[in-house]
Structure formats: structure tokens, C-alpha cells
């Protein structure tokens, strides 16, 4: 298992669009991907599960993956979050 902490700096947090973008990116990896907020865990390949974390701007998350491409998955997803989901408006 590989994990990395990130902070949501985009204006909408992990709302519908960012959750969908995250899910699409996560789905391109074979590893199981989970996102944790405190004691709550979400399936990184499910937009609904991600949105249920209710993670707003400024929230710290732990992205973790386990599987053959776990390091690449976590690093790519952490980079996506740090780039604010490539959304200039968010």
C-alpha cells in the first residue's frame, strides 16, 4: 500500500465536478484506490462515494492505493488535486 496526504485548495472542494474528474483519473489505474477524511473512507473510483466525504476547500485527505500501480496512481491523483483539478474557476 502507498499513500500520500493532500489538501483541497480548489474553491468547491470535492464537489460533483472535481469528484468526477478524480474518479475518471482513478479508474485508469488497476490498483484499489481509497480516499480518507478523518475516519471516513471513500472508494476513489466512485464519484458518489467521494462526494459523501463532504470534503470542502481546505480539507486534508489521505489518498491510498494498493496494487501493481499503486505509486503511480497515488502520485497522479495527488498531482491532480494539487493542480486544483485543472479548473481555473475552481
pLDDT of amino acid 89: 45
Catalytic residues: 15
Q: Which domains does the chain have, with CATH numbers?
A: 2-86 (3.30.1340.10)
pLDDT of amino acid 86: 86
User: In this structure, is the dihedral angle defined by the CA atoms of residues 88, 25, 60 and 6, taken in order, positive or negative?
Assistant: negative
Residues contacting 57, CB < 8 A, separation 6+: 8, 9, 10, 11, 12, 13
| Grid coordinates belonging to 61 | 485527505
User: Per-residue confidence of the chain (90 residues) as pLDDT tens digits?
Assistant: 999 999 999 999 999 999 999 999 999 999 999 999 999 999 999 999 999 999 999 999 999 999 999 999 999 999 999 999 987 444
Amino acid at each position: 500500500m502507498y499513500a500520500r496526504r493532500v489538501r483541497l485548495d480548489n474553491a468547491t472542494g470535492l464537489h460533483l465536478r472535481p469528484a468526477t474528474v478524480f474518479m475518471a483519473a482513478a479508474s485508469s489505474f488497476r490498483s484499489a484506490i481509497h480516499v480518507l477524511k478523518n475516519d471516513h473512507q471513500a472508494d476513489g473510483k466512485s464519484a458518489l462515494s467521494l462526494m459523501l466525504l463532504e470534503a470542502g476547500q481546505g480539507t486534508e485527505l489521505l489518498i491510498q492505493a494498493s496494487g501493481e500501480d499503486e505509486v503511480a496512481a497515488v502520485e497522479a491523483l495527488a498531482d491532480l488535486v494539487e493542480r486544483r483539478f485543472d479548473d481555473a474557476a475552481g
